[in-house]
Amino acid sequence: MPNFEVRVAGPQDTRFAEEICEEIFVSSQERKTGIARRTPEYICEKMLAGKAVIAVAEDGSFAGFSYIESWGGKSFVANSGLIVAHRYRGMGVARRIKEQTFILSRKLFPDAKIFSITTGAAIMKMNYEFGFRPVPFTELTDDPEFWKGCQGCRHFDILESHDYKMCICTGLLYDPKEHLEIHHPDEKI
């Protein structure tokens, strides 16, 4: 099994933008799910801003990706675009990317609510393990710019016809105020 470097993406990773977009598109077609299409320019913006996580295999090939975006005056952060290259699926790459994306979200936006919308059972399971809970879309950001991002999804008409309150995706939310900080018994409080 290959080793993977999972880290915050930077300028050196923009060379993977086209491949990331293609992998997202192909996965959406195969699964017949609602993955919103993104442009290589958008992916590059996330990398250059330090708001993306990438997994690179030991041979230098693209293995996986995810990015974050803040909404509603930085009170919400979306964890989005989690994708793993076909040849690296089933190797734990998605979990490692999700973990680093969550850490990056908490680091850059420590007080923000973190959310994800997905149709994927594996993503839902990982989100639950990180403390996310399912919520109606009304508990997610009401920032219209976020919902514009769904226009690239094959199910956008469903979302639009329900006034952006429901779709086939499940909304998942992590609210840092709902999680107690646990101290080790030897730590001074």
CATH topology of domain 4-178: Aminopeptidase (3.40.630)
CA distance 23 to 11: 20
d(CA 122, CA 128): 10
Alpha helices, DSSP H only, in the chain? 17-31, 40-48, 93-108, 121-129, 144-148, 156-161
Q: Where are the domains of the chain?
A: 4-178
pLDDT digits (tens, 9 = 90+) for 109-162: 999 999 998 888 888 999 999 999 999 999 998 888 888 878 877 788 998 999
Burial of 37 (0-12, 13-18, 19+ CB in 10 A): middle
Per the CB < 8 A criterion, the answer to whether 67 and 182 are in contact is no
Per the CB < 8 A criterion, the answer to whether 178 and 43 are in contact is no
Over residues 54-74, the pLDDT tens digits come to 999 999 999 999 999 999 889
Place of tokens 């993306």: 52
Give the global pTM: 0.85
**Contacts for 184 with CB less than 8 Å, ≥ 6 apart:** none
Confidence of residue 182 (pLDDT cuts 50, 70, 90): low
pLDDT score recorded for residue 133: 95
